[in-house]
Each structure stands twice: as structure tokens, then as C-alpha cells.
Amino acid sequence: MDKQTVYLDAVVTNPAIEIGAYTMYNDFVNDPVDFEKNNVLYHYPINKDRLIIGRFCSIACGAKFIFTSANHTMSSLSTYPFPLFFEEWDLPISEVAKAWDNKGDIVIGNDVWIGYEAVILSGVRIGDGAIIGTRAVVTKDVEPYTIVGGIPAKPIRKRYDQDTIELLEAMRWWDLPQEQLRRLLPVIRNGDVKELAEAFGKL
């Protein structure tokens, strides 16, 4: 049995992290069960931000999701997080969250592949079917079915033409019940979207 790979919805317990069915994480360095501790960083309840990952995503070893509290505020003349030490500086505790700039949720679509040691920053949305290259640093939203790479990550190419992307987005095969999906699997795996559309229409 492969002990380096887990379905994340079976191991993540934080209610602010939502993981879709069959989304997997592989880790050959650390225990993949510790994904929440090792890979979801600066994710504190005070910010009320969420990590949302869709169904059938593949997340490679060392991928990181870096949240708001890593973003020291740029609105102050100093980036030092004085509000974190509110007692020492006679600041109200309500000021704590002003130590950083809140960028919001990280939202990952369905069937997304996130490569080895990629970094996704707070506020980023990644569309269905996207591929995030190895060690990419994603600072901006990624369109569906787009391959990105680099620091900062930039589009390399679309996986399909726009008509194919729209058809895949409309079908949303990842939402099908397992038995229907099992019947469609040979068609999905052969890569012919027209054949998939025909089979989908017969379900």
C-alpha cells in the first residue's frame, strides 16, 4: 500500500479547509497526513479565510498554500507587525489582524494538477483543469485549463482550444456519481472531448 499518498478529505480536519472528493496529496519527505500542518501556512482563524480545493485534484510533494498572515501590511510606513505584540505596544487586541493585508481565500477548481513545491498565495483562484508547474509561485488567478510556470507564475499555454474548454466546463464530469464516472472513464482517458460529449449525453 502507498503510504506516501492520501485523499485529503480523509485527513484534513480544519473546517476552514474544504477538500473535494478524490483530491490526492503525495509526500515522499513528510507524512502526507500532516498536509494541514506542513502545507497550509499562516492560516489563522482570526482572518476567517478559507482554502477550497475541488474534486480530483493532484497535489505534488511540498506544494504550499500561503495565507494572509504572511502578508505584512503595506499600508503602514513600517512592515513590522506591531499589532501582533499589542500588549507591549499598548494597542487594542482588535488591531491584531491589521498587522497584515488580507488577500482572501485560496480557491482551487476541479481536476487541477499542482506540481512539486509549487506555492499558491492568498487570494488566488485557479480554474478547473489548470496545471501549476514545479516550483511555480502563483500570485495571480489562473484561467481554466491553463498551464502556468515560473516565478511569478505566468501562462505557458492553454491545454485546449476555447470551444473544448467551454465544453468541458459545461459537462463538469467531476461532479458525476462514481458509477456513471466509471462508465465514462475509458472515454475521459482517451482524450477525445467530442466522444466524451456524446457519451455524456447518453447517461
Positive or negative, the CA dihedral 184, 190, 191, 194 is negative
Residues 144 and 186 in one domain: no
**Distance (Å, whole) CA 167 – CA 43:** 35
The pLDDT value given to residue 102: 87
Q: 14 and 37 in contact (C-beta within 8 Å)? A: no
Final residue in a domain of this structure, among 144, 159, 174: 159
**Distance (Å, whole) CA 89 – CA 102:** 22
Question: For the chain, how many structural domains are there in total?
Answer: 2
User: 72, 98, 158, 159: which is the annotated catalytic residue?
Assistant: 72
72 is catalytic: yes
Give how far the C-alpha of residue 124 lies from the chain's centroid of Cα atoms, to the nearest Å. 8
pLDDT tens digits, one per residue of 154-189: 999 999 999 999 999 999 999 999 999 999 999 999
Final residue in a domain of this structure, among 143, 159, 175: 159
Q: In the predicted model, is pLDDT for residue 57 greater than 70?
A: yes
CATH number at 38 reads 2.160.10.10
Neighbours of 191 (CB within 10 A): 9
The predicted model scores a pTM of 0.94
Range of the domain at 178: 160-203
Residues 168 and 130 in one domain: no
Residues 119 and 169 in one domain: no
Residues 112 and 68 in one domain: yes
Residues 67 and 166 in one domain: no
Q: Which of 41, 52, 42 is nearest to 16 (CA)?
A: 52
